[in-house]
Amino acid sequence: MFKLLILFVSLAGQATAATTNLPVSFGVVLFPAFQALDVFGPLDALNLLAFQYPVNLSLIAGTLDPVSTKPRSGAMNPMNSNFSESVLPTHTFATAPPLDVLIVPGGLGTRATDLNDTIDFVRETFPTLQYFVSVCTGAGIAARAGILDGKDATTNKRAWNSTVVWGPQTNWITHARWVVDGNIWTTSGVSAGLDGMLAFIDAIYGADVALNIANGMEYVRVTNSSDDPFADLYGL
């Protein structure tokens, strides 16, 4: 009986090996013309995780002004639509608290030439993180920050060519819904961020936790990281 108890404790210890140091403090960087679902796919999953684990979120930008999905130029808004959403940051790059997980979304805004403060923040924060997650062309920001050098990574498939040029030292994986290399998670385009985040929750908090969240979202998720029809669709 004593031996059985020891074994049980040991097994439980193994099963939750990754949980001894569970991430608590999450951050998301916001920049003009971010892609909405890149942010709110992963965050909706994490909003539900927050009912089961004590976690906190910082939304981090250059200033505390609302950050909009609005296209940054007329060329990026050919129909002259007035269609965007604005999200309120909680912190600036200067005031962000220590983070366990940093999430970098993508979007047309990643093509901007004035993202140095965002890129610097990613570069300077990375060494203190438990995990880094990029969604979509957010991998381009990560690459420009140098943190994907020598790493396996993926990114948006439609914007593949214009993104991978930022990471000449990166081993870009074409057929991947998401890629894990050490503590770096990179996902493919837009909706892939939700699958990547659910896989992250699965790996870090447990399969039952991820399944419960996906079921709560009524989402049939992609569980095979190499299941990626869009690589073929876009001729990669």
Answer for the pair 154, 187: CB distance below 8 angstroms, yes or no.
yes
d(CA 139, CA 151): 11
Closest approach of a copy of itself to the CB of residue 66, in Å: 5
Residues that bind a copy of itself (CB under 8 A): 26, 35-37, 39-41, 43-44, 46-47, 49-57, 59, 66, 69, 76-88, 156-158, 188-192, 194, 215-220, 222, 229-230, 233
The separation between the first and the last C-alpha atoms of the chain, rounded to the nearest angstrom, is 58
Write down the least CB distance from residue 167 to a copy of itself, Å.
Answer: 19
Give 50 or 112: the residue with its C-beta nearer to a copy of itself. Answer: 50
Q: Name which of 123 and 234 has its Cβ closer to a copy of itself.
A: 234
State the nearest-atom distance from the C-beta of 83 to a copy of itself, in Å.
Answer: 4
| Nearer to a copy of itself (CB atom), residue 32 or residue 41 | 41
In the complex, the smallest distance separating the C-beta of residue 188 from a copy of itself, rounded to whole angstroms, is: 6
Residue 91 forms beta bridges with which residues? Answer: 60
3-state SS assignment for residue 191:
coil
Tally of residues, the chain:
236
Closest approach, Cβ 174 to a copy of itself, in A, equals: 13
The answer to whether the beta carbons of residues 217 and 48 sit under 8 Å apart is yes
Task: Rank residues 185 and 230 by Cβ distance to a copy of itself and give the closer one.
Answer: 230
Contacts of 150 (CB under 8 A, 6+ apart): 169, 170, 171
Structure tokens at 37: 């679902």
Between 146 and 212, name the residue whose CB sits nearer to a copy of itself.
212
Closest separation between CB of residue 27 and a copy of itself, Å? 11
Q: Where are the alpha helices (DSSP H) in 96-234?
A: 116-125, 138-144, 160-164, 192-205, 207-216, 229-233
Nearer Cβ to a copy of itself (145/196): 196
| 67-68 and 25-29 beta bridge pairing | unpaired
H or E stretch at 58: strand 56-61
